[in-house]
Chains A and B, each alone.
Chain A
Amino acid sequence: MSAADSHAVLAAGSGDVDPIELFLPPGYDIFWSAIVLVIIAVVFYKLVLPKFTAVLDERTAKIEGGLAKAESAQAEAAAALAEYHQQLQEARTEAAKIREEARAEGSAIVADLRTKASDDAARIVETAHRQIEAERQQASVSLRSEVGLLATELASKIVGESLQDSARQSRVIDRFLDDLESTTAGTAGAGSTVGSTSGKEG
């Protein structure tokens, strides 16, 4: 098949179309192309792309906002935890201090009370001693005067004679007291009371 033949076939099939028109298209092709392209471009520039850009930006902002929020929440939680720990530490310190103080105070109170109690006890004991001494002396004095009188009376009744003679009376009393004293000494042994009595008598 020759080149001329093939050209003839092409021409017949193509209806007078030059293949170069594929690349250098007729005016109407450019015209309609321009129309569709302008429409597409306008819709994409004005509507589609701005909308998707806005959506993407919003999504990014939301994600970033969420991340920032999470981060701040975490920081807040960490701060709260630190504060809590510090407060706990402070409370522990304070509790220890209070305990220490209480213990010191308690022991001070105990010591104070003990001192006071022993003081009281000593005073009570002393008072009692003094009272006992006073009563004993009083008893001793009254006993001495009354015993002499009673003894004399008794003796004069027993003897049956009146002891008018004062010299004799005095002698009788002295002898009686001496007897009494020696009897007391005999029963109570060599007690200090007897000693002191005899000392006073002497």
Chain B
Amino acid sequence: MTSFTSAASGQGEGFHAPTIADFFPPAILFEGTIFEFNRLQLVRILATIVLLTIFVIAARRAQLVPGRFQNVIEMILGFVRVNVVEEIMGKDRAKRFVPMITTIFVTILAFNLTGVIPGLNLAGTSVAGVALLLALWVFVAYWAAGIRQHGFLGYLKANLFPPGVPAPIYIILAPIELLQLLIIRPASLIIRLVANMVAGHIMLVLCFAATNYLVVEAAPAMKGLGILTFAGGFAITLFEVFVAALQAYIFALLATVYINMSIEEEH
């Protein structure tokens, strides 16, 4: 990130280089308190309103014979239910966790997509708050499911001392597995999501800021390059749409896998 900014800053004064500060815009309300409200929170709230409006209208109008709109909504819900949860857990276990995974999926999808929506241009998930809470939810869910299934000690034993390993190996294996359960799984969920969104935002800003600078301010000989950077920004925008969906899918998928690992009889 530093190299991006430093390289960019070398090009001229009119060039706005993307920085980490983009993700921490100035406060709008309650500055300095825990209620500090900035542009990122506004983006999240807008995304929430749009998401809930779409789904509540869909639910209100839901009919036995679906129309076009209801079909799209059902396709999304069906994708999470069938292709993510039921495929991993099987139909019987899936029922308990479908609402949770669905909520996680649509939330992340909506917040990711704000990164490419003109006017918002900032992914709601690009600061870890949302990802952190969702990861915490997943963490609680797989611990609870595991303890419910095996009992507390049974769950620890099943995870820290997987069968079929020579006893001395447990000295290394058990701490690693404990680290997995406590930190690595949730942390990887958070970091994967946030890093993807941050990187995507920086790529987009870099391309479009460069285009703006090249076309408006740079020497006439340089203006042609603006076409290249614009094409790059265009491609990355499309790529970001794909990444937004992919990251939502991966988060939901891994959450399901972690929960499923907790309630499986054998590892």
Binding site for B on A (CB under 8 A): 1, 3, 5-7, 9-10, 13-15, 17, 19, 21-34, 36-37, 39-41, 43-45, 47-49, 51-52, 55-56, 58-59, 62
Contact = CB atoms under 8 A, between A and B. Distances in A.
Nearest to A63: B64
Contacts of B47: 36
**Among A7, A9, A22, A26: residue with most chain B CB under 10 A:** A22
A36 B48 contact: yes
Contacts of B179: none
28 contacts: A3-B2, A6-B3, A9-B2, A10-B5, A14-B19, A22-B198, A23-B128, A23-B190, A24-B128, A27-B34, A28-B33, A29-B41, A31-B34, A34-B133, A36-B130, A40-B51, A40-B106, A44-B55, A44-B102, A48-B55, A48-B56, A48-B58, A49-B77, A51-B62, A52-B58, A52-B59, A52-B77, A56-B74
From DSSP, what is the main secondary structure of chain B's interface residues?
A: helix
Nearest to A3: B2
B191 A10 contact: no
Interface in B30-48: 30, 33-37, 40-41, 44-45, 47-48
From DSSP, what is the main secondary structure of chain A's interface residues?
A: helix
A107 B227 CA distance: 114
Given A24-B128, A37-B107, 18 more contacts: A1-B6, A6-B5, A9-B5, A13-B21, A14-B19, A14-B24, A22-B23, A28-B30, A29-B128, A30-B132, A36-B48, A39-B52, A40-B52, A43-B52, A43-B55, A45-B99, A51-B59, A52-B73
Given A15-B21, A37-B134, A40-B103, A9 B48 contact: no
Interface string B116-158: 0000000000111110111000000000000000000000000
B194 to A, nearest CB: 6
Nearest to A33: B129
> 5 closest A-B pairs (Cβ-Cβ)?
A33-B129, A13-B19, A29-B129, A6-B6, A28-B36
Contacts of A23: 128, 190-191, 194
A153 B42 CA distance: 173
Contacts of A26: 36
B1 interface: yes
Contacts of A51: 59-60, 62
**Among B7, B20, B47, B73: residue with most chain A CB under 10 A:** B20
Contacts of A24: 128
Contacts of A47: 56, 59
Contacts of A58: 64
Given A17-B24, A25-B127, A48-B56, A37 B106 contact: no
A84 B73 CA distance: 51
A23 B135 CA distance: 12
B99 A37 contact: no
A34 B107 CA distance: 12
B133 A37 contact: yes
Contacts of A49: 77, 98-99, 102
B11 interface: no
Contacts of A40: 48, 51-52, 103, 106-107
A45 B104 CA distance: 12
**Among A24, A27, A28, A59: residue with most chain B CB under 10 A:** A28
A125 to B, nearest CB: 96
Contacts of A25: 127-129, 132
B83 interface: no
**Among B7, B48, B126: residue with most chain A CB under 10 A:** B48
A21 to B, nearest CB: 7
Contacts of A41: 103
Nearest to A15: B21
Given A7-B2, A24-B128, A33-B133, A43 B56 contact: yes
**Among A36, A39, A45: residue with most chain B CB under 10 A:** A36
Contact of B74 (A14, A17, A19, A52): A52
A33 to B, nearest CB: 3
